Copies of this chain bind each other. A is one copy, B any other.
Amino acid sequence: MRKLFHWPLDPASRLVRLVLAEKQLDFDLVVSPPWKPAEEVTRLYANPVGPVLIDQGQHGRVVANHTHAIIEFLEEQYRDVKVLPMLAPDRAEARRLWRWVETRFESEINGSILAERIAQAVQRTSAPDSAVLRRGAHALRGVLTYLNALCEHHSYLTGRQLTVADLAAAANLSALDYFGDVHWDNVPDLREWYVRVKSRPCFRDLLKDSLTGTKPAAHYADLDF
């Protein structure tokens, strides 16, 4: 039995879903909104943040919180499909970029663009704060430019192999893309990369997500947008 407490548009939850699906592991999804976590989650952690995985396997019952703890556990335990490269130098670079992506999105983008969009959709606030959106959009442009440069010469962000860094970037971008906030036209190489990642079977489930009361952008689930 494997259970993931998640929230559909939380990028960290999306990343864990992608890794689980890439590894072809079955799991039950339980919705646990950030503003009202599931009771089982609050019994586990005083201040739960992000996805929580409960994995009952041969290794006993493992409870993990935070993408770092969850994904490193999955990578150690389920080795048929790997999301980290084999060689030490490549592993280090994939982990650096994974962490870089999560830190930049968390500290500069998700708290502004994504939070505003979600507040509007879920809590029915009036129009999003345009100054906050502008600040987030500026930070997002910088991140997109950097990621675009990384896939100018390779299929994936750290080279020829898909890693957790690609999944982390795709998880974060997909949440913004739901609201149409990623301007793909300015980053053609990254757009091609995103088509490639989005076309993988692991992505299917994410593209079916729908937030009550808010339709995704027209191209959200389009594999050749």
**A89 CA to B89 CA, complexed, in Å:** 27
Q: Tell me the smallest distance from the CB of A84 to a CB of chain B, in Å.
A: 9
Chain B contacts of A59 at CB under 8 A? 87-89
Q: Does A215 contact B (CB under 8 A)?
A: no
Chain B contacts of A63 at CB under 8 A? 89, 92-93
Indicate if the CB atoms of B73 and A60 lie closer than 8 Å: no
Q: Which interface class (under 10, 10 to 19, 20 to 34, 35 or more) fits A?
A: 20 to 34
Main secondary structure of the interface of A (DSSP, over half): helix
**Residue among A59, A62, A107, A146 having the largest count of chain B Cβ atoms under 10 Å:** A62
**A63 CA to B94 CA, complexed, in Å:** 11
Q: Does A72 contact B (CB under 8 A)?
A: yes
User: Contact partner of A73 among B64, B69, B92, CB < 8 A?
Assistant: B92
Chain B contacts of A46 at CB under 8 A? 146
Chain B contacts of A69 at CB under 8 A? 91-93, 95-96, 99
**A87 CA to B60 CA, complexed, in Å:** 9
**A21 CA to B63 CA, complexed, in Å:** 30
Q: Does A66 contact B (CB under 8 A)?
A: yes
A76 touching B88 in the complex, CB below 8 Å, given contacts A46-B146, A68-B68: yes
Q: Nearest chain-B residue to A73 (Cβ)?
A: B92
**A64 CA to B87 CA, complexed, in Å:** 13
Interface residues of A (CB under 8 A from B): 46, 59-66, 68-70, 72-73, 76-77, 87-89, 91-93, 95-96, 98-100, 107, 146
